[in-house]
Amino acid sequence: MSFLRGEALWHLAWALPLLVLLWILKKKRERLVVPSTLLWQVALAEHRAHTPFRRLRRSLLLLLQACVLLLLVFALARPFRDGTRLEGMRLVVVIDASASMNARDVAGGRMAAAKRQVARWIDGLGPGARMMFIRAGARPTVLSSFQREGRRLHRALEGLEAGFGPGDLDGALRLAEEACAAPRPGDRIVVVSDGGGRAASTRPVAALPVEWILLGQGGENLAITSLQLRQNPFSAIDLQAYVRVVNLGREARSFDMRIEAEGSLSDLKRIRLDGGASRAVVFRRLAMESGSVRVSLDVDDDLPCDDEVWAVVEGRSRLAVHLRGPAAPFWEAALRDHGLVRLVKTPEEAALVVSDGSAPLSESLPCDRLRFTTAPVAFPSGMAGRLVEGPRIVDWDRGHPLLRFVELDELRLRQVRILPVPEGFRSLVRVEEGPIVVAGLDGRGHRSLTFGFDCLQGDLPLKAAFPVLVQNLVAWCLEARDESASHRAGEVVHLDVGGERELRLRTPRGKLRVLRPAGGGVDLGPFEELGIWRMSGKERQWRFAVNLFDEKESSLSGRRREREKREKGERKEGRTAPGRATVEKAAVSRRSLRRETWPWAVVLALVMLFLEWGLWRRRAHGL
């Protein structure tokens, strides 16, 4: 016996104690003969009239009324029985395998509950009925094509597990639609889900009834929704970890958050979070240059898979910088002690070339460029504008990463060259006549920063803004080389692997897959396991982390509410498409599939009500 609206049973929380109270209420009164009860009756009537409550008395009528109440509450919960024999029909069962199906808020977990439900349908398969399963994971898969044999279906069902990413219910419904290409009367699609999916209910599917079996009751859950590692620019081994944790339950929780670097505990913090609140936690001074980081919560909640996250730190190579021109000593002084920079002598081995003065800078160099010049020969073709003497800076882009904390209002320049702003570039500094500093990506994806003045024809190297500008420049260039080594569950990523011909991919659970790249790259995903993934080729190895980082999946109660709200809204709007199944049709279909037993409860309640009425008449009127 299950309930369509199990929450209605909460009414028993007050109805049942009331019933028990009525049964245990047996007041033993002392019998006392008095001359007359005349005055007592009047006094008692007056006393009762001034008392808001009266004492409960044991009464058969009251007991019957309580039973009627219980039966009505029972009926409100809409009990139903499954196991209806499915005859002469095809049933496509789409089982949500998103991460939230791992939740343990129902007995055995949501996935176990879904499997129990489907197992009952398998047992109820009648003559001519066939069933197929589709697993709605990050990539929908058919677990079993249309089968009659319960044994095979049970076997297919046994191997079903929830994944750790979002569930693609849309894709699963498309698969179901394709499976029932020629629908027959009685065919239907049943989606067993906890309410997740990518807006599946708003998309009408084939001309088949679709019914939703919603699971889950909503529970307490804490989740880590973000983990970012940032390196101290002045130290190659100093990491900072920024973690965001959310309490998606209603109750306040206190717990320990621990961070481990390469398997050893680095730090531990005691956190307290109110229900519905979130908090950013920062771990500083993680002494590591490369390796894996794991952050976990010591907490027992209903969804454990979002209680731990991973990140990979790759050893970052220093930025190779080549300096040329008369202002090179200033730059050298500013960059010499930078922990993430090394100076090189030739532009070919540099990742960044800083050019000053009139020396031309080749556009073919595969590196980032920084120019300080007014000489027309030093500009790419078409970049050099007119020359302006004694300009006055009127504005600069304070929000750009290059000019963050850089003050230019007192900068004095002898002459500047007005620069056009090519496509893909933006103006960073302007004088009255036009832009004098532009930045952007050139046609080959390299960063280019051009200053329309000579570094030594002004007092920029002597200003406090100069070292800040240098620091911003290094960070800007390093950022371009930072390949993110973290992916979200369910993502599909493309990875350049160079000349590798065969790759061995090992999942966090240790499964090994052999990949053969095509065109110098390989597509990975959708990822359905959380943790550190490792891939190795002949020349290079890769590591990356896969995390859930999905607040919607982690929210155990919000999804079902969202689904029910969406269904309700669609019914109200009457959103129907000719020849296509709608949610309204699905509701009709659901009623026909299940055998609801609430009418029996109502009938019984009416009988008891009639009995109570008859008893009352007999007592009141002696009939």
Binding site for another protein (CB under 8 A): 27-44, 46-47, 50-51, 55, 57
Closest to another protein by CB, 54 or 336? 54
Closest to another protein by CB, 54 or 572? 54
Closest to another protein by CB, 45 or 492? 45
Measured distance CA(604)–CA(595) in Å, rounded: 17
Residue 403, Cβ density class (10 Å: 0-12 exposed, 13-18 middle, ≥19 buried): buried
Closest to another protein by CB, 59 or 226? 59
Report whether 164 contacts 530 (CB < 8 A).
yes
Between the alpha carbon of residue 276 and those of residues 217, 248, 249, 434, 565, the distances in Å are 17, 5, 6, 50, 20
Closest to another protein by CB, 49 or 512? 49
Closest to another protein by CB, 45 or 588? 45
Shortest Cβ 41–another protein spacing (Å) = 6
Report whether 326 contacts 361 (CB < 8 A).
no
Report whether 94 contacts 131 (CB < 8 A).
no
Measured distance CA(407)–CA(424) in Å, rounded: 25
Closest to another protein by CB, 31 or 509? 31
Shortest Cβ 67–another protein spacing (Å) = 24
Shortest Cβ 50–another protein spacing (Å) = 8
DSSP bridge partners of 486:
545
Shortest Cβ 23–another protein spacing (Å) = 18
Shortest Cβ 51–another protein spacing (Å) = 8
Q: Taking Cα atoms as reference points, which of 278, 288, 226 lies closest to residue 252?
A: 278
β-strands 521-524, 493-496: how paired?
antiparallel
Closest to another protein by CB, 29 or 151? 29
Shortest Cβ 58–another protein spacing (Å) = 11
Reduced to 3 states, what is the DSSP secondary structure of residue 308? strand
Shortest Cβ 24–another protein spacing (Å) = 16
Measured distance CA(140)–CA(98) in Å, rounded: 10
Dihedral of alpha carbons 214, 216, 221, 226, sign: negative
Shortest Cβ 66–another protein spacing (Å) = 21
Measured distance CA(115)–CA(137) in Å, rounded: 15
Kindly state the tokens that stand for 258.
């621990």
Shortest Cβ 620–another protein spacing (Å) = 17
Residue written as token pair 């850089």: 406
Measured distance CA(427)–CA(422) in Å, rounded: 9
User: H or E segment at 396?
Assistant: strand 393-396
Measured distance CA(330)–CA(230) in Å, rounded: 28
